[in-house]
Structure 1
Amino acid sequence: MNKTALITGASSGIGLELCKIFARNNYNLVMVSQNIERLEKAKSIVLKENSKIKVINIVKNLSEPLSSEEIFNYTEKNSIQIDILVNNAGIQVYGNFHEVNVDDSLNMMYLNMFSLTKLTSLYVKGMVERGYGKILNLGSTGSFQPCPLNSVYCASKAFVLYFSEGIKEELKGTGVTVTTLCPGATKTSFAKRANIENIKLFRGKLLNASDVAEKGYRALMNNKSIVVTGIYNKIMTEAVRFIPRNVVTKLGMNMMKK
């Protein structure tokens, strides 16, 4: 019997690429996104990878407070056992903190942190009871340092990394593993939606979403704790531990400028 993976932010980018990989490996899928048209298109793409799997679409905006419970209740009501949870959905708010709309920042915090925590809480209990489960949380290279013009986003991704590392240790011996995927600038529609296409960070060579997803999938299957994609990104995330904090923020400001 095929195992089932639930993937949020499944209609495009890294989320869609992860869905395709899971499909090729004979996992049934629960695909979650807030855009019904993109989600239906994504479903058809995934089924081209493997027409024998079951794919269920759930249209939800995870920045809405009750959305996580509604997703969980749907899978419970329909006896859909979630063996793998991928918390991929996320947004970004770019600009000086004192100039951006604080409600946009709070909305981002809810999506990037609170809904991720809630979904993990709802599904991890069943995983522990069954003695098997895998959780993949999407962090960022921004999880490792503060970054001006991206301050709340990076803070939210630092939460994802630390939360994931903490519960991974708590879950040792239960059969449930937790992996954090930390990509850098990646070629997706994410930058366009966040209005950051023209910043220096996105002007260099970008990683392909398919490559990032493949590295994340392999790390998840190998029970790795953290995976940073790209050699340059790996060097930078290690280097920031030894660079003075005031220098780190200056470097961050330089990379985030348009």
Structure 2
Amino acid sequence: MTGVTGDSAGAGAPDRRWAVVTGASSGIGEWLARGLARRGHSLWLVARTTDALERLAKELTGDHPGIEVRVRPCDLADPVARSQLSDELTEFPVSVLCANAGFPTCGALTENDPARELAEIQVNVVALHQLTLAVLPGMLERRSGRVLVTGSAAGLQPVPTAATYAATKAFANTFAESLHAELRGTGVTCTLLLPGPVRTNFYETGGIPRLTEQRILAWLTPRRVAEAGLDAMARGRRVVVPGPVAKVQAFAGRNTPRALLFPVLRTAFLPRLRKARSNGR
């Protein structure tokens, strides 16, 4: 792990407010880190991409001299690397955990790479669960702490051609809301950030790089989504759904009978997914 200090205080100074952001190298995670730095938090930036994290760390300490930024490369799909990170966090005074790392796989399940499918579960589900368990006891002991979980509107209904992703986000959504209720009165809160379509490289990772060109969706910027999540987290809210499209998705996902939902997906949305994936190759 490398560190970048923005002032003369020593590493791990007791008065620092430390926030951990997973998936911090781009997209929503990058803007969560920027927003937390602006709010005075020192940071652990966690992702696989060291160069991107170091560039972000240098920028954040230049813009916010009172904070410290630690770069912690970690492949959260690797159980050994993930356990090492978890052990480190167990011994560290984390005041905020933004469990944001995640990625999709798209296409028919049997046509996808099984190793990639397994890695998706490791990152989207197991890492979220393990890192939360690492920081939560310390937060409860101090009676102070915030957990922000990046779920997805996709986790509110089954999604053909994204079966594993929808299932992992169903776990994240339910886990965050359950934990919110469980933590009531402890001084610690858990907030679910429930985005809809966000214009990031997320879809390129999922194998559909041109999906963001589809006009059916009103894409939000990652900055807007991150700021909505941080504001809701600060207020201790249970869930925040940024933007009108995500709100419609959330309502429809919770309330539309499956017998109606699947034909809608097949006729209105899935052809666009397949076209975007085909054009991106």
User: Do they superpose with TM above 0.5?
Assistant: yes
Residue of structure 2 in register with 1:196 after alignment: 208
Q: TM-score, normalised by structure 1?
A: 0.93
Contact 2:89 2:134 in 1 (8 A): no
In the alignment, residue 35 of structure 1 is paired with which amino acid?
T
Quote the RMSD (CA, aligned, Å). Answer: 1.7
Shift of 1:76: 5.4
- Indicate the structure (1 or 2) with the bigger Cα radius of gyration: 2
Shift of 1:88: 0.6
C-alpha distance in 2, partners of 1:251/1:222?
36
Shift of 1:167: 1.6
Residue of structure 2 in register with 1:114 after alignment: 126
Residues 4-59 of structure 1 deviation map (CA, whole Å, 9 limit, x = unaligned): 10000111111010111111111000110111111111212322431220000001
Residue of structure 1 in register with 2:250 after alignment: 237
C-alpha distance in 2, partners of 1:24/1:18?
10
Residue of structure 1 in register with 2:6 after alignment: none
In the alignment, residue 57 of structure 2 is paired with which amino acid?
K
C-alpha distance in 2, partners of 1:118/1:221?
23
Residue of structure 2 in register with 1:226 after alignment: 239
Shift of 1:243: 2.0
* Residue segments in structure 1 that go unaligned for 5+ positions in a row: none
Residue of structure 2 in register with 1:33 after alignment: 47
Q: Say if 2:9 is the partner of 1:9.
A: no
Q: Say if 2:109 is the partner of 1:97.
A: yes
* Residue segments in structure 2 that go unaligned for 5+ positions in a row: 1-14, 276-281
Q: Helix, strand or coil for the counterpart of 1:241?
A: helix
Residue of structure 2 in register with 1:214 after alignment: 227
Among 243, 263, 266, the alignment partner of 1:250 is: 263
In the alignment, residue 205 of structure 1 is paired with which amino acid?
A
In the alignment, residue 247 of structure 2 is paired with which amino acid?
K
Give the direction of change, closer, same or farther, for the CA distance of 1:249–1:198 in structure 2 (3 Å limit): farther
C-alpha distance in 2, partners of 1:44/1:194?
29
C-alpha distance in 1, partners of 2:258/2:126?
27
In the alignment, residue 29 of structure 2 is paired with which amino acid?
G
Contact 1:30 1:58 in 2 (8 A): yes
C-alpha distance in 1, partners of 2:259/2:142?
47
In the alignment, residue 223 of structure 2 is paired with which amino acid?
S
Q: Helix, strand or coil for the counterpart of 2:111?
A: coil
C-alpha distance in 1, partners of 2:225/2:214?
16
Name the % identity. Answer: 31
C-alpha distance in 1, partners of 2:61/2:265?
41
Shift of 1:198: 2.9
Give the direction of change, closer, same or farther, for the CA distance of 1:76–1:171 in structure 2 (3 Å limit): closer
Give the direction of change, closer, same or farther, for the CA distance of 1:26–1:96 in structure 2 (3 Å limit): same
Residue of structure 2 in register with 1:176 after alignment: 188
In the alignment, residue 206 of structure 1 is paired with which amino acid?
W
Shift of 1:145: 0.8
After superposing the two structures, state which structure 1 stretch, 65-74 or 49-58, moved more.
65-74
Q: TM-score, normalised by structure 2?
A: 0.86
